[in-house]
Amino acid sequence: MRRWSIVQRLLGRWREPRAGLIVTSSLELGPGLYFLPDPGDGALRITADEIVLDGQGAILDGGGRGGIGIALRGRRHVVLRNLTIRGYAWALEAIDCEELLIENCDFSQNGASEGTFLDINRVEATAGGGIRFVRVDTSRVARTHAQQQDVGVDAISCRGLVIADCDLSYNTAWGIRLHGSSDCRLQRNRAHHVNRCGGTGCDAAGILLTCGSHRNLVAGNDLRWSGDGFFLGNQFSPPSNDNLIVGNDGSYSPNNAFEATFSRGNVFRRNRACFSNFGFWLGFSTDTVLEGNLITDNHVDGVHWEHGARGFLRNNLIARNGRYGVAFTLNPANRDFPDRCVSTSHELRDNHFISNGQCAVYLLHTTGTRLEGNRYCAECEPWRIDGASAENVLLDMPSSER
């Protein structure tokens, strides 16, 4: 009798999902393929806290009709695992939730678009994708696939997320977007080949930070072959400051391996920025740090920094870039941002420059910049100074003088 009661209790946890199912307690789905169009508020809705939904390998298919696969509103302590969700606008949408755990899921082949330039600052900027978090805090996404759609994970006004060990490649907008989301950790993810517009980018990126996303850690991610590998952009929105970007590979971008514009205090350490149009594009940023990066074989410049201030570059290898190793520039005719019409107070220390196309360091209308302890090998010129550049301190000696 006791054995039979255990069997009955286990069988009671198995459910065959149906469209509009409301989940109020922990549940294991029966394995299989289920065609479940969204009736209007989610094919499955989770309406309780402290539950575990284990898909057991079940596949929920929305039939390409849009809508939401699983919807959560105002929930906490919910675990989703072992589910495949496809054919919706968004596989999962969570709003005003906390302490969620999403693991070992496949949220691929949902909403997708192509051929249009992206608006990185719009909340509703894409056709859909894998996970959409809005005001979700202290939650984790791990070992989850979200591919072949617009976005892998879109996090809007979130705090304290961890997104780790996921495969978010082959999307057409962003592998991960943080939109006004701070204190998150994006670690060891694959978000390569994220591109659109025939491979030209149109502001697609492996990882995008925008609209006031601060103090995030972006570490150990594979962002190669994307529109931009890593893109931090904020021209007409609040800046994204004080982020640490370490140990990522953004190479083979048709645009920039790493871009960080209109921002302050971001730090890039031990990244690979190779075989792209530009290695780093840092326009209108201040107090940005580049340390120990590999910046080689880019078509134009290794580092291009227009209208910037107080940059610090140390111990980087900057080699075989097509034009300049590092370029600090200013366009006096650009008055769109009059408070940033400067190129000043940068420091380059202990970098190694090798065989860059025209020169290692280019200064245009740049002031108060210091070069010290850098090494130059097989450079046409160690530096070139143009325009109204003044008060720069050049303490390096070309290799022929050492």
Q: Is 332 left (phi over 0), alpha (psi -120 to 50) or beta?
A: alpha
**pLDDT for 14:** 57
Confidence of residue 94 (pLDDT cuts 50, 70, 90): very high
pLDDT higher than threshold 60 for residue 4:
no
pLDDT tens digits, 79-92: 999 999 999 999 99
**Which range marks the domain in which residue 140 is found?**
20-401
Confidence of residue 332 (pLDDT cuts 50, 70, 90): confident
Specify if 228 maps to a domain.
yes
Specify if 9 maps to a domain.
no
**pLDDT for 7:** 36
pLDDT tens digits, 21-73: 899 999 999 999 999 999 999 999 999 999 999 999 999 999 999 999 999 99
**pLDDT for 402:** 42
**pLDDT for 162:** 98
Q: Which two tokens stand for residue 15?
A: 């459910």
In angstroms, rounded to a whole number, what is the distance separating the alpha carbons of residues 348 and 326?
10
Question: What's the mean per-residue pLDDT of the chain?
Answer: 93
Specify if 1 maps to a domain.
no
Determine contact, residues 257/251, Cβ cutoff 8 Å: yes
DSSP string, 178-239: EES-BS-EEES-B--S---GGGT-TT-EEEEEESS--S-EEES-B-TTSSEEEEE--TTS--
Specify if 188 maps to a domain.
yes
Specify if 13 maps to a domain.
no
pLDDT higher than threshold 50 for residue 12:
no
Specify if 112 maps to a domain.
yes
**pLDDT for 334:** 75
In angstroms, rounded to a whole number, what is the distance separating the alpha carbons of residues 231 and 102?
25
Looking at the structure of the chain, the number of domains it has is 1
Determine contact, residues 51/27, Cβ cutoff 8 Å: yes
Pairing type for strands 393-394 and 289-291 reads unpaired
More confident: 297 or 122: 297
**pLDDT for 117:** 86
Confidence of residue 15 (pLDDT cuts 50, 70, 90): low
Q: Which residues have a Cβ under 8 Å from the Cβ of 277 and sit 6 or more positions away?
A: 253, 254, 255, 256, 298, 299, 300
CATH number, domain at 264?
Answer: 2.160.20.10
Only one residue has tokens 């005001």, namely 135
Pairing type for strands 90-95 and 375-377 reads unpaired
Beta bridge partners of 159: 137, 182
pLDDT tens digits, 214-230: 999 999 999 999 999 99
Confidence of residue 209 (pLDDT cuts 50, 70, 90): very high
Q: Which two tokens stand for residue 390?
A: 């003044």
Determine contact, residues 369/392, Cβ cutoff 8 Å: yes
Determine contact, residues 49/25, Cβ cutoff 8 Å: no
pLDDT higher than threshold 70 for residue 172:
yes
pLDDT higher than threshold 60 for residue 401:
no
Specify if 8 maps to a domain.
no
The one-letter amino acid code at 379 reads E
pLDDT higher than threshold 60 for residue 11:
no
Mean pLDDT of 308-322: 98
Confidence of residue 199 (pLDDT cuts 50, 70, 90): confident
* SS3 call for 10: helix
Of residues 306, 307, 206, 189, the one with CA closest to residue 257? 206
**pLDDT for 21:** 87
In angstroms, rounded to a whole number, what is the distance separating the alpha carbons of residues 111 and 66?
7
In angstroms, rounded to a whole number, what is the distance separating the alpha carbons of residues 298 and 319?
9
Mean pLDDT of 291-320: 98
Q: Which two tokens stand for residue 126?
A: 């894409």
More confident: 11 or 285: 285
Specify if 374 maps to a domain.
yes
pLDDT tens digits, 248-265: 999 999 999 999 999 999
Counting residues of the chain whose pLDDT is more than 70, the rounded percentage is 94
Confidence of residue 115 (pLDDT cuts 50, 70, 90): confident
The one-letter amino acid code at 201 reads G
pLDDT higher than threshold 70 for residue 1:
no
Confidence of residue 319 (pLDDT cuts 50, 70, 90): very high
